Chains A and B, each alone.
Chain A
Amino acid sequence: MKKFYKNLLIFLIPVFVVWGLTEVFYRTAENNFTFKNQRIISEYNQIETLVFGDSHAFFGINPEYFTSNTFNIANVSQSLYFDELLLQKHIDSLPNLRNVILNISYFTLSAVDNSSEDRWRRYFYQQQMDLNISSISVFDPNQYSLALVRRFDKSVELFGEYLQNGTIVSCYGNGFGMQDETNIVPDKEKISVLIAKKHEDHLFDFEVNKNRLQRMIDLCNKRGVEVFLIEMPVYKTYYSLLDTAKKEKINATLSQLEEQNKGVHYFDFSQEESFIDSDFRDADHLTNEGAEKFSIILNAILQKK
């Protein structure tokens, strides 16, 4: 049996080495999670406006075009669950915070916690943004190794990117997401069909996320921070393919939150007419130009309030 264990261990040495190296990579190379965490902490005393949300806000709201000192803490597939944890963690350390912008996408209110999108992200939020993720049990071995929670092909891809660019951070200092302007989907009609289908979860139960939003609003209200609930511009075909009843329910829920709470403002820009085809990268994301246009509009609203 000793021979068996010895040979097995020898066989596994390369596997353990690769695992170890991947772990070192994730623990040492700066990424969006560590970068944003460091930036927000270093700018605690300056930040006046904080942007939360998913990729729509990450690539669509550029703090550069805001008059107030703005930081974009949104991230790809960042759900309200993480938005709330981030707000809870940082709000007391932001003495000059005046505005919180919360992007609400079609799927935000019906999103369920611990979805497949969160499968690996929650460990990164816990380890690299110091959030207390209650769904991660103390017995969950994944929390001890970031290399184990990400797909290996993705790790290899990121490592290649790191070797090529010297970093895997894909956002600017203000948290706004970097986009490859050459990577614009040409057939927006076709992608709209696919993305609308992907985003359709057929869920109408908003209770958990509505309560979550209310808690975030209460937290902001206590500190005199204004909350802006924003539905961002999306491509017309994508919008037309979404469930009308659900869109109406989202609208009603957000309007109700606006009416029932002081300092809450709701704006639905999903079919804002000033946005033309070239402002969209695909069905539901803005290009840099689109983001500039949208950020200017948003800034004007903030200034008026």
Chain B
Amino acid sequence: MLFNTIDFAIFFPTVLLLYWTVFKKSLSVQNLFLVVVSYVFYAFWDWRFLSLIFLSTIVDYSVGLWLGKTNNLSKRKILLGISLFFNLGLLMTFKYFNFFVETFVDAFALFGTPLKVTSWNILLPVGISFYTFQTMSYTIDLYRRKIEPTHNIVAFFAFVSFFPQLVAGPIERASHLLPQFKVKRKFSYNESVDGLRLILGGLFKKMVIADNCALLVNNIFENYEVTSGSTLFFGAVFFAFQIYGDFSGYSDIAIGTARLMGFDLMKNFNYPYLSQNLSEFWRRWHISLSTWFRDYVYIPLGGSRVSKSRLIFNVFIVFIVSGLWHGANLTFVFWGFIHALFVIPVILFFKKETPFAKDKKLPTISQFLKIVTTFFIVVIAWVFFRSETLTMAFSYIGKIFSSSFFTMPQIPRSGIFLLFFYMVIEWIQRHRDHVLDIGYINNKWIRYTIYYLVVFAIFYYAGDLQPFIYFQF
């Protein structure tokens, strides 16, 4: 069930009404209700894969209980190993099996030994990378004794399957989300209104920005061989906004939906295209994933408290694994590699970026140049993310940096205007929680005019319905 469909427009208000009325009295019943509706929500894609979520939940709940009972380090390691083996095993089987087999075969072919191995026709379960990472964070935190194991199985099931963030995050930590299932939720008028604002803003990002950019992007990337460098450059820019609108739009709707039910999900995007360097970009883009990798990969590897060469190694490892998390293709690995390449100098040589002053209407020239440079690097890296093969990506970038870059791009000017206008809005709202966080505007009529303009834009300028990109990860 997609957030931007009529199915969800019927499903969610019904769930919300029942949640705050019929199931309000008992916390356990309310949690059980959330588990049931979350499973129904997921079943709209493929009910068969519900068994994977169920098994992942049972395994990690049981491991959690055993971890809580033993202080024996070897046993604790074995228990953590079971959890990691099971969750990573799911990922390896359903997401990476064919990738590794094919890479293995290609590697042998390179040395003149052709192998005949049949790859499996495996369907990728929606959201598998998200919920496995979420459950793994629970067992790792238990192992590190950062949290206590839960004995409330219904709450744990609800934590793993919570429908707003089940298929595309934010990837929540048990320490933040699980306790929220154990206390009675209270309806808050202001929080609910803000939840609606988040949903409205998210729908705008997804349906107006991302879906319209998608049409242009698909056309440009499909015909990149016969397209000018300038158009290809803007094709990559449009993709940058497509993936941003798509994913941050989804996250906003997820956070808003959860907020309407009295939950607080972590912020996943914080105006990433206003970043002044790549390191800052990763503190603003897909925050729940980048902090996951920071806490569970980068820091265990030694983090930044190591020698420079080891630090460089650690950063490369984190970004390459992060690239691989996005998809089983070398293009994603290379995308991660590029980011690592530009993050390392920032970590080594620049300690802190200058924050934007609240009272300044415009950024300084230095800030502006840094934003533009960072955006340019990010855009070029996105070409690898969007391309089907490395050859295509290099060819695409090669064409951008050709003489045809200086020709007039064949793109709709209205598209560029819309994106520029949107970035101006983001700049104005840069210190606010989200782009439609306009509760500070006292005049009710101005607020309502903005809401209706956004609603109108969603209905009138929505592009053709496109699947959310991050569902494939």
B20 pairs with A152, CB closer than 8 A: no
Size band of the interface chain A makes with B: 10 to 19
A141 pairs with B460, CB closer than 8 A: no
A17 contacts chain B at the CB level, 8 A cutoff: no
B462 contacts chain A at the CB level, 8 A cutoff: yes
Q: Which of B46-54, B127-135, B186-194, B314-322 contacts A (4 or more CB under 8 A)?
A: B186-194
Q: Which of B440-473 contact A (CB under 8 A)?
A: 448, 451-452, 455, 459-462, 464-465
When A8-B196, A152-B462 are in contact, do A197 and B189 touch as well, CB less than 8 Å? Answer: no
B189 pairs with A3, CB closer than 8 A: yes
Residues of B within 8 A of A145 (CB): 6
The answer for the CA separation of A197 and B461 in the assembled complex, in Å, is 26
B10 contacts chain A at the CB level, 8 A cutoff: yes
The answer for the CA separation of A15 and B451 in the assembled complex, in Å, is 12
The answer for the CA separation of A105 and B464 in the assembled complex, in Å, is 25
A273 contacts chain B at the CB level, 8 A cutoff: no
A183 contacts chain B at the CB level, 8 A cutoff: no
B10 pairs with A141, CB closer than 8 A: yes
Size band of the interface chain B makes with A: 20 to 34
Question: What residues make up the interface of B, taking CB atoms closer than 8 Å to A?
Answer: 6-7, 10, 20, 187, 189, 192-193, 196, 222-223, 448, 451-452, 455, 459-462, 464-465
In addition to A151-B464, A152-B460, A153-B462, 7 A-B residue pairs with Cβ atoms within 8 Å of each other are A3-B189, A4-B192, A11-B451, A141-B6, A145-B6, A151-B462, A156-B460
B193 pairs with A4, CB closer than 8 A: yes
Residues of B within 8 A of A197 (CB): 222-223
A1 pairs with B20, CB closer than 8 A: yes
B187 pairs with A1, CB closer than 8 A: yes
B189 pairs with A4, CB closer than 8 A: yes
The answer for the CA separation of A8 and B460 in the assembled complex, in Å, is 21
A153 pairs with B461, CB closer than 8 A: yes
* Between-chain CB contacts (< 8 Å), 23 pairs: A1-B20, A1-B187, A4-B187, A4-B189, A4-B193, A11-B448, A11-B451, A14-B452, A116-B464, A119-B465, A141-B6, A141-B10, A145-B6, A151-B462, A152-B459, A152-B460, A152-B462, A153-B459, A153-B460, A153-B461, A156-B460, A197-B222, A197-B223
Interface string of A1-30 (1 = CB under 8 A from B): 101100010010011001000000000000
A148 contacts chain B at the CB level, 8 A cutoff: yes
Which 9 pairs of residues, A with B, have the shortest CB-CB distance? A152-B459, A1-B187, A153-B460, A141-B6, A4-B192, A4-B189, A148-B6, A152-B460, A141-B10
